[in-house]
Amino acid sequence: MTQRVLVLGATSTIAAEVTRFYAARGARLHVVGRNADKLARLVSELPPRSVTSERADFMELGRAEALIESAAGALGSIDVALIAHGLLGDQLETERSFAAADATIVANFTSVVALLVPLANRMESAGSGTLGVITSVAGDRGRPRNYTYGAAKGALNIYLQGLRSRLVPAGVKVTTLKLGPVDTPMTRDHRKNPLFATPASVARGIVTALDAGAAEAYLPRFWAAIMPVVRLAPERVFQALPFLSGR
C-alpha cells in the first residue's frame, strides 16, 4: 500500500533529503515549508503526481490546525508525519533579549506542539499512524553555548514521551529523533569536527527509525553512547570540562 507522508518543514536540508527518500520509494507526499522558492525547487525534483505542497510560516500558531486539515485533505489520510522545522537562534542574543529567547522557544517547542495536537488527535481517532519529530542532543543537558535552544528541545522531548505513552493504546507510534550536529546551512558558522554528520546519512537514519516505529533514535547512532555520559556527569565534573561547559 502506498504510504501517505506529510513533511512539515520540508525545505530544511535534512527534511528535503527525507522527502527524496520517501519519493524514491513511491510514497504519496504533502510537503509544507516557509520558503516558497525552496519549496518549488523541491517539488520540481519529485514525481508530479506524487506530491502536493503548501507554503506556511510555522510561527503563525493559529494556522496549525488548518495546515493539518489541509494536508489530510490533500493526502486522503496521513500515515506518517515528520515535523522538521526549528531555529537554532543566537544564544548570546537570547541572554540579552527576552524577545529573542521567546522566539527560540516558540520555534522549537510551542510551534511544534501546535502541530502535534491536531496530528495526534487525528491519528488517535484513526487508530494508526507514525509521528516523527526532530529534536536535538542539545535537549539532553543544558550547556552554556546553547541552553535556550536546548531547553526548548528538552521540553519537546518530555512532551513526546508523554504523547507516546498516551497514544500506545491507539496503535499510534511517536518517534523522537535526537540529532547531533549536521553540516547544513543552520550550522554554517560552527567550526566543523568529526562529530558532524551529513544530511543524507541522517535522513536515511530518520526514515529507518520511522519505519521501525522506534520510540527514540539518536542520529548518528554513536550519540546514543555519548549522551548518557554527558547527561549523567556530576555538575562539578561537567563544569570543570571546557569542551562540555565552555562557550
Tens-place pLDDT, residues 125-176: 999 999 999 999 999 999 999 999 999 999 999 999 999 999 999 999 999 9
Residue 247: the pLDDT is 81
Backbone φ/ψ region at 89: left (φ over 0), alpha (ψ -120 to 50), beta:
left
What is the average pLDDT across 169-187? 89
What is the average pLDDT across 225-247? 89
What is the reported pTM? 0.93
Q: What is the CATH number of the domain that holds 177?
A: 3.40.50.720
Residue 58: the pLDDT is 97
Q: How many domains are there within the chain?
A: 1
Residue 25: the pLDDT is 93
pLDDT at 114 over 70: yes
Q: By residue range, what is the domain housing residue 65?
A: 4-245
pLDDT at 193 over 70: no
Distance (Å, whole) CA 117 – CA 101 = 23
Contact 6, 75 (CB under 8 A): yes
What the block records as the C-alpha cell of 58 is 510555522
Q: How far is CA 173 from the centre of its chain?
A: 15
Task: DSSP letter for 197, please.
Answer: B
pLDDT band at 53 (very low <50, low <70, confident <90, very high): very high
pLDDT band at 191 (very low <50, low <70, confident <90, very high): low
Q: How many residues does the chain have?
A: 247
For residue 230, the one-letter residue type is V
Burial of 135 (C-beta count, 10 Å sphere; 0-12/13-18/19+): buried
pLDDT at 65 over 80: yes
Residue 186: the pLDDT is 66
